[in-house]
Amino acid sequence: MDMNDNKKRQSMIVYVIVALAVIFAIQSVFYPQIQKATITTVDYSQFLADVDASKVSKCDLNTDTSVITYYLKDSSGAADESQTYETTQFPNDATLVERLTKAGVDFSAHIPDKSSDLWMAFLLYYGLPIAVFLVGGWFLNRQLKKSMGDDMTFGGGFGGMGGLGKSGAKIVAQKETGITFKDVAGQDEAKESLEEIVGFLENPGRYADIGAKLPRGALLVGPPGTGKTLLAKACAGEAEVPFFSISGSEFVEMFVGRGAAKVRDLFKQANEKAPCIVFIDEIDTIGKRRDAGLSTNDEREQTLNQLLTEMDGFDNHKGIVVLGATNRPDTLDPALLRPGRFDRRIPIELPDLAGRTAILELHAHDVKMEGRIDLGIIARSTPGASGADLANIINEAALRAVRMGRNRVTQEDLLESVDVVIAGEKRKSTVLSEHEKQVVSYHEIGHAIVAASQKGSMPVSKVTIVPRTSGALGFTMQIEEDEHFLTTKKEMTDRIAVLCGGRAAEELVFGEMTTGAANDIEKATSTARDLITRFGMDEKFGMVALGQVQNRYLNDAATLTCSEGTAQQIDAEVQRIVEEGHQAALATLRDHRFKLHELARYLQKKETITGEEFMRIFTRDDGFAPNLPKPEEGATRQ
């Protein structure tokens, strides 16, 4: 019997002793009180008086103890068993039977079975409570062990301070996770990098013959939602080996040294189940770079040191592979990334157009859809979307189909779900006044006209003034026809001009500004700053990096790495570039002022128009939509 069994045995003994003590205490205190509350003892003379007064309904004589138990009559003449009376029979009372007969009392006598009474009393008052306590204790002990680790016990068996030394790692599957590479789409390069690890786990002899060693670890790096955990499970599923899954935050404890103990226990379990895969999610929680600053965390560093030691110490030939996932690789300690620990760094990037299409098709297999569904439009509408975002789009479309009373998803459901993921649900509670609705219409048409007037710009696919839960009162959507990975300076300045188109339309038509352009201004300023500091496209500063991206997987914003004087010049240059885009937007809208009025009124009436509707009106020669009044003369003289 090992130490864990001894602890469990001790804990159960302690629990039984405590349960018995509590039961006897309850019985000794409460049972006499209950007896006193339900049975009333009276004098024998009182009993005879009740019999002579015809108050007694029935009585019973215990021949062993000479105790008479009787019940009085209720209002209907039946026995009132809610109250029991007891008295002791007077010796040699020969007149009792005559009195009982004369009063019409039902009387009887019995010789009690002492053994059955004792057993019944024990079972009722001791056996049943003991059983309840034991079953409750077993169930409670089992639940606590599940939640706090197998070493959690009661009483004297607090193994490892309540399981704090256990790793808490969950074996997702003993032989297979149910997920293979077929269930992962849009990450072909990452799958190719992991296939070699799968091949080694399946047939290590083929690699050992040539002298190759299995990589000890691989680091999956990428933005959130790109499928790092899914790929790790697929890797274990392909190799059909046990899969240990644990988060880096589970190593962090309030007790010093417990994180290191969990690391030791994790690799002990993995060594027993080898070959296997150990997956540590959010490994940056314990793997941050060590330094000599005052803000160091001794507990975290001890956990990291133990992890480094365990990765150096386990037998590589047994087939233990450690997969780590993070979206903050820049914060990891260099000792963790060196060869011999995490030998490989596998980037899990956001999917491209073909990858997004494949992911949508993969998730669409589980959803009932109409026959004519073009997922390519959805893929082109979602540049920069992760696999989780695309799965959410499919799910939102299915939910919308159910809400609309349909049993199949339509193209309209998918297009609306894109809007929901990008801008949020429609805000039915937000009702714009006619003037605000008019302002928003001109604002969005301003964006669309500037975009449509540019050569090589992304086509406009939708313009809407329906408020969304994200706070947007409307938006203009552009879709790329073909995906490209390089952006020229002209494309960036054109993008700034499109962002300025909404504010320019407000100034041109109403002669005033509103707060509706806040997000446009933020994006235009950020684009102009990146043009200068990151891409070296500005003539004044030339090809110099004046900013640095801290983490391109979580936040693509750059921080300045220049002197204060240079920063002031950058601010002035950013202001100049944005203002040039503003003036370009104003000039474009002046050239198309009639179309601006016409399209704004058309949008105000319909609230949402497609890109085809917009381009049909914008390119029409007559300049005015049918059944719509021409703009006033004063409105055209802007």
Strands 475-478 and 460-464: antiparallel
- DSSP-based three-state secondary structure for 4: helix
Rg from Cα positions in the chain: 41
pLDDT of residue 221: 92
**Where a domain ends, among 112, 127, 146?**
112
Q: Which two tokens stand for residue 469?
A: 């839960």
- Do residue 319 and residue 171 come from a single domain? yes
Question: Does residue 274 lie in a domain region?
Answer: yes
Q: Are residues 141 and 197 in the same domain?
A: no
Task: Round to whole Å and give the CA distance between 495 and 528.
Answer: 10
**How far apart, in Å, are the Cα atoms of 11 and each of 18, 160, 166, 241, 291?**
11, 14, 18, 35, 44
Shared domain check, 309 and 285: yes
Reported as a single tens digit per residue, the pLDDT across 558-576 is 788 889 999 999 999 999 9
Looking at the domain assignment, is residue 152 inside a domain? Answer: yes
pLDDT at position 395: 92
Looking at the domain assignment, is residue 427 inside a domain? no
Verify that 510 and 587 share a domain, yes or no: yes
Q: Are residues 121 and 59 in the same domain?
A: no
Give the strand pairing for 106-110 and 56-62. parallel
Ranges in the chain, pLDDT < 70: 1-38, 112-177, 253-257, 291-298, 313-317, 622-638
Bridge partners (DSSP) listed for residue 326 = 221
**Considering the domain boundaries, does residue 443 fall inside one?**
yes
Neighbour count for residue 529 (Cβ, 10 Å): 21
pLDDT at residue 488, as a whole number: 92
Are 169 and 245 contacting, i.e. CB atoms less than 8 angstroms apart? yes
Strand, coil or helix: what is 87?
strand
171 shares its domain with 158: no
> DSSP state, 560?
E
Q: Which domain holds residue 74?
A: 42-112
Length of the chain: 638
Asked if residue 9 is part of any domain, the answer here is: yes
Q: What is the pLDDT of residue 314?
A: 65
What are the beta bridge partners of residue 382? none
Amino acid identity, position 37? A
The answer to whether residue 426 is domain-embedded is: no
Looking only at Cα atoms, what is the longest distance across the chain? 131
Domain check: are 248 and 221 in the same one? yes
The pLDDT assigned to 108 comes to 81
Choosing from 347, 379, 410, the residue where a domain stops is 347
Do 64 and 29 share a structural domain? no
Same domain, 185 and 295: yes
pTM, two decimals, is: 0.66
**Residue 429 belongs to a domain:** no
Residue 353: phi and psi, rounded to 5, are -60, -50
Residues 230, 259 share a domain? yes
462 with 569, same domain: the answer is: yes
Cα torsion angle, 510, 513, 514, 519, sign: positive
**In the chain, what is the straight-line distance between the N-terminal and C-terminal CA atoms, in Å?**
93
Q: Which of 112, 135, 152 is the last residue of a domain?
A: 112
Q: Which CATH number does the domain housing residue 90 bear? A: 3.30.720.210
* Residues facing residue 477 across a β-bridge: 462
The answer on 158 and 181 residing in a single domain is: no
pLDDT at 80: 78
The catalytic residue positions are 444
pLDDT of res. 126:
61
Say what the pLDDT of residue 93 is: 76
Residue 299's CATH number: 3.40.50.300
Q: Is residue 399 part of a domain?
A: yes
* DSSP per residue, 310-349: HHHHS-GGG-EEEEEEES-GGGB-HHHHSTTTS-EEEE-P
542: left (phi over 0), alpha (psi -120 to 50) or beta: left
Task: Please state, as a whole number, how many other Cβ atoms lie within 10 Å of the Cβ of residue 482.
Answer: 6
Q: For residue range 146-167, what is the model confidence (pLDDT) as tens digits?
A: 544 443 333 333 333 444 445 5
Total number of domains constituting the chain? 5
